[in-house]
Chain A
């Protein structure tokens, strides 16, 4: 065995160990991640038919050995021509944007507090932020179903205090969707903010204060610019998944809460229109890929600074 492996000639013929290390995950991702996208792209140009699968082939061999490629642009024309889809895209961006802003406003002071907490406390608080992320996402969204309901405790407390006389319609509103989004994605906001604030050199803040800078100005001129990277990463990590979210609008939103993830789901499962669902997915993908690349660059820069 040993003799065989140390045989140089044989070693040169076989791929080296590093080849296998790279190839196994690489091939997996090519087959199960990249190729599927090419298929989505292909189907987005196909025609719908009543069959299983409900799409017409795009590549067809004719009898004279000619490969015909039939690309139908009608799905994209349909998507861009229908106000419903445009509205769903715009509304997804609006909902994700507002949710991101709310998460930042709540997350920044929390991350600040955790990073500046006494040593023993810091780990505990950090764990408390991460813990909900480990408990079921679906069940955490579900928890709000009970809280926000007509007979739920929130309406109960408000009525008891005499602030309202009739239960408010909280569920099936955009308000409920915002709550669900901020609730689910807050840890994603806090984690990058925390690591940015923790790295902050306190001497800089002290120096600014010593030079007569007022606290609010120190925050605006020193703290905020130095934690810019964390803010950026946190916002992208909340915004990107929020745009395509399905579960939260489906459970907490009303029938008129149009979000693109939900529209893709309904086209696919409800209307069985695979080509239109694919076309919508492609448009969403193009929309988000710019943001994903941006996120990668922000993280790479963060790593470079760290090193």
Chain B
């Protein structure tokens, strides 16, 4: 790489990464600002934890957070079960009737605008209620179903990529030794793809925890999730307690992602190390 281009690349990286991170840092700093005007720094009384204290006394916010947590957990679990099955179907059964359609159905929810997905699911729920009497009204159940439908696609991508790297001769060996397909899956395949399933679960949880648009379409008057509450507040402008909330969320997510990254890096190193040891022993 010549020097001028190296400079250009470094410059772009500096601009790009500050672009990605400065807003987040600004939000964190302002969360300790005592002034209600958020962006006007009140140096006499800052830094303060007042907004954090207020968060934990805000009943509506805590209720919304609890509901979002429940929905996200149920969603992640459902999405992982269905997503793993779908990934298995797409990766291992190369031919079956309707495979092309299935493939399209599993990727489309990722790229379609959320307004369309939300609108279509609401119309489905209304039609179902009219014809079958289920679901009665809309709330946590309909939100969870909607979230599973779109977050499943992300689980499929992650699990499918891992399944493609699994050495099939191990599965075949187990099969030759008389293990039934279900047992092969539980004892051989599942442990090999466990970390992909775990990442899929976390991603599905975050997608659900964060979703506003689809949720707004399929939620009822009695169910307000955290993003809905935040959005209705933020529409009126910046607010100091939202800065505090954002800071807490960013810290939790960063801790999770960084520890997951370190864990995966170590697992990778261990695998390389084990492979080397096995090679040396056999040599």
Which A residues contact B (CB, under 8 angstroms)? Answer: 5, 17-18, 21-22, 24-26, 28-37, 39-40, 43, 53, 106-107, 109-110, 112-114, 116, 123, 125, 127-132, 134-140, 142-147, 149, 151-153, 156, 182-183, 186, 215, 219, 237, 240-241, 243-247, 250-251, 261, 264-265, 268-269, 274, 277-278, 281, 284-285, 288, 292, 295-296
B residues in contact with A147, CB < 8 Å: 22-23, 26
A142 touches B17 (CB 8 A): no
Q: With A36-B123, A264-B115, A288-B113 given, can you name 13 additional A-B contacts, CB distance below 8 Å? A: A24-B82, A25-B106, A28-B149, A28-B152, A39-B127, A43-B123, A109-B13, A110-B16, A128-B20, A186-B20, A244-B115, A246-B114, A268-B119
Contact with A along B1-25 (1 / 0, CB 8 A): 1101100111111011101111110
A144 touches B23 (CB 8 A): yes
Which B residues contact A (CB, under 8 angstroms)? Answer: 1-2, 4-5, 8-13, 15-17, 19-24, 26-27, 30, 37-40, 82-83, 85-86, 88-89, 93, 96, 98, 102-109, 111-116, 119-121, 123-124, 126-127, 130, 145-146, 148-149, 152, 180-182, 203, 206, 209-210, 212-213, 216-217, 227, 230-231, 234-235, 237-238, 242-243, 245-246, 249-250, 253-254, 256-258, 261, 265
Main secondary structure of the interface of B (DSSP, over half): helix
B residues in contact with A135, CB < 8 Å: 24, 249-250, 253-254
B residues in contact with A296, CB < 8 Å: 103-104, 107
Minimum CB–CB distance for B160 against chain A, Å = 10
A142 and B246 in contact, given A25-B152, A110-B13, A186-B20 (Cβ under 8 angstroms): yes
Cβ-closest chain B residue relative to A27: B82
A244 and B113 in contact, given A26-B102, A39-B127 (Cβ under 8 angstroms): yes
- The contact sample of 28 A-B pairs, CB cut-off 8 A, is A25-B82, A25-B85, A25-B152, A28-B82, A29-B152, A36-B121, A40-B123, A43-B123, A107-B16, A116-B1, A123-B261, A132-B21, A134-B206, A134-B253, A136-B210, A138-B212, A138-B231, A140-B24, A142-B230, A144-B23, A146-B27, A152-B39, A156-B39, A215-B5, A246-B113, A250-B235, A277-B119, A292-B107
A127 and B106 in contact, given A277-B119, A285-B116 (Cβ under 8 angstroms): no
